[in-house]
């Protein structure tokens, strides 16, 4: 008994030491970050930081981000430029600051988090080419278990509400002072980024890094809208209002799904001309004609089976709802400023069985590999979808151009 009584205090001390170690590992602080090296390689990287509305992006030095269990460190090759980033940068949507934006990426696997499952390591070995989706499912919450990964609770609770991954911590710390910087999705506008493995798909060597980056948001969002929200069938008619990066991807997906009439609506003739190359059978310049009347004229007075709103404006929301036929589906994918509202004719909605559907992204584990396949076979034309490429140091300028409406399709930042 005497020996045991001497043993228990020592055991308690050891358990306390292990518990403290586990806590520090689970709550990865900047002091830990400063000691992390990528193998025998670099211990730091650069990333573009958004500080506050009206202040330009700045390229800053960071400690090398460190992946945890189930996470993968990616050497970023390319990152798409999306209006969702602009909503954050313009202050339309609240988000933790300072942060690194950029949420559709391609890159190369360079590290796995400690205790990552062997199946993940086998699927995404060191050196694998990958593409990342902006919705990073946890796979364990109520919605992920149901297969609705686009409603993943930790994604919205932690990443979109707090700018962290699902342990409540960011992986980004400034090299100058060790302070945390938050992550919009994976914070892809960086030389390296940490991504939960659930958001990744293998990118075949036949597909280019740069153009393939748009699979993680623009194409991903379009596919989710047409496949899950609209449940589009061959032969149906479709109108897409707003032909930017996501709207133009909707045209390609509608064509792939066998749309009989695909109507592109925008106010810029250059975008409408490009829409013809992406699958539009008809184009409508909203600055010159009445959108709803013209869509009904094209469809024999009925309206379309499916209308997609890709701008996030009250006016286009209403146009979308009015453009569908009786029993039709109006799918809303454009983000708006917080608190923005639109009106709906309730009686028409009820009597004519109009369906108003919101759609945000897609379901990474099932949809992203399908999109990779569509791109690999040429059904989804990556080259036609990307209209501008720029260097990492030009990222701020290309976001300014997007804000001025000067990007016809999708711009991509090359970080290689």
Domain harbouring 63, CATH code: 3.90.180.10
1 within some domain: no
pTM over 0.85: yes
199 and 50 share a domain?
yes
Asked if 347 and 378 sit in the same domain, the reply is no
Verify that 212 and 83 share a domain, yes or no: yes
Residue of 240, 308, 312, 305 whose CA lies nearest to 279: 240
**Residue 37, domain member (yes or no):** no
Same domain, 328 and 390: no
Can you give the residue range of the structural domain that contains 208?
44-219+363-414
* Residue 93, in any domain of the structure: yes
Per the listing, tokens 């009786």 go with 326
Q: Are residues 336 and 383 in the same domain?
A: no
Composition of the chain by helix, strand, coil, percent to 5: 40, 25, 40
Q: Are 291 and 383 in a shared domain?
A: no
Report mean pLDDT in 10-residue bins for the chain, 416 residues: 39 38 39 65 94 96 97 98 96 96 98 97 98 97 97 98 97 97 98 98 98 98 98 98 97 98 97 96 98 98 98 96 98 94 95 98 97 98 96 97 94 94
pLDDT, position 7: 34
- Looking at the fold, whether 336 and 380 belong to one and the same domain comes out as no
Number of domains observed in the structure of the chain: 2
Do 166 and 264 lie in a common domain? Answer: no
Last residue of a domain, one of 358, 376, 405: 358
Same domain assignment for residues 260 and 326: yes
Last residue of a domain, one of 335, 358, 381: 358
The pLDDT of residue 82? 96
10 assigned to some structural domain: no
Contacts of 33 (CB under 8 A, 6+ apart): 63, 64, 65, 66, 173, 178
> In whole angstroms, how large is the CA radius of gyration of the chain?
23
Same domain for 59 and 87?
Answer: yes
| 368 and 351 in a common domain | no
Residues 212 and 245 grouped into a single domain: no
Domain end residue (candidates: 358, 382, 401) = 358
Q: What is the DSSP secondary structure assignment for residue 27, as one 8-state letter?
A: S
Name residue 108's beta-bridge partners: 75, 129
**Does the bond joining 12 to the residue before it have cis omega, within 30 degrees of 0?**
no
Tokens describing residue 281: 């059978």
Does the residue 14 lie in any domain?
no
Helices assigned H by DSSP within 40-95: 83-89
Cα separation, 411 vs 413, whole angstroms: 7
> Mind giving me the DSSP string for 119-166?
HHHHHS-TT-EEEE-SS---SSSHHHHHT-GGG-HHIIIIIIHHSS-T
The confidence score (pLDDT) of residue 185 equals 98
Q: Whole-angstrom Cα distance, residue 180 to residue 194?
A: 15
């Amino acid at each position: 008994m005497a020996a045991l009584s001497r043993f228990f205090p020592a055991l308690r001390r050891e358990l306390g030491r292990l518990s403290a170690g586990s806590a520090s590992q689970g709550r990865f602080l900047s002091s830990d970050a400063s000691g992390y090296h990528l193998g025998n390689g670099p211990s730091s990287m650069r990333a573009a930081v958004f500080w506050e509305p009206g202040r330009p992006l700045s390229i800053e030095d960071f400690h090398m981000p460190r992946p945890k269990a189930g996470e993968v460190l990616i050497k970023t090759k390319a990152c798409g430029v999306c209006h969702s980033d602009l909503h954050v940068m313009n202050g339309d949507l609240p988000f933790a600051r300072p942060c690194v934006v950029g949420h559709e990426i391609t890159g190369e696997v360079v590290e796995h988090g400690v205790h990552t499952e062997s199946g993940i390591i086998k699927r995404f070995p060191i050196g694998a080419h990958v593409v990342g989706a902006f919705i990073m499912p946890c796979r364990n919450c109520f919605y992920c278990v149901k297969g609705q990964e686009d409603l993943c609770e930790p994604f919205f609770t932690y990443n979109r509400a707090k700018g962290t991954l699902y342990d409540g911590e960011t992986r980004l710390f400034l090299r100058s002072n060790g302070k945390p910087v938050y992550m919009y999705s994976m914070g892809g506008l960086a030389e390296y980024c940490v991504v939960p493995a659930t958001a990744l798909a293998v990118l075949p060597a036949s597909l280019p890094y740069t153009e393939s980056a748009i699979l993680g948001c623009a194409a991903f969002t379009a596919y989710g809208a047409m496949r899950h929200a609209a449940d589009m069938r061959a032969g149906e008619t479709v109108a897409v209002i707003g032909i930017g990066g996501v709207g133009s991807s909707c045209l390609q997906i509608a064509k792939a799904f066998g749309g009989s009439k695909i109507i592109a609506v925008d106010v810029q003739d250059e975008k409408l001309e490009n829409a013809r190359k992406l699958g539009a059978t008809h184009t409508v310049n909203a600055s010159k004609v009445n959108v709803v009347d013209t869509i009904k004229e094209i469809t024999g007075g009925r309206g379309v089976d499916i209308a997609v709103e890709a701008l996030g404006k009250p006016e286009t929301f209403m146009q979308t709802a009015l453009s569908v036929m009786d029993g039709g589906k109006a799918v809303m994918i454009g983000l708006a400023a917080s608190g923005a509202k639109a009106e709906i004719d309730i009686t028409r909605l009820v009597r004519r069985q109009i369906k108003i559907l919101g759609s945000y992204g897609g379901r990474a584990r099932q949809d992203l590999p399908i999109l990779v396949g569509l791109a690999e076979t040429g059904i989804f034309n990556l080259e036609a979808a990307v209209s501008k490429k720029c260097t990492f140091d030009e990222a701020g300028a290309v976001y300014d151009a997007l804000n001025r409406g000067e990007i016809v399709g999708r711009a991509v930042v090359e970080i290689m």
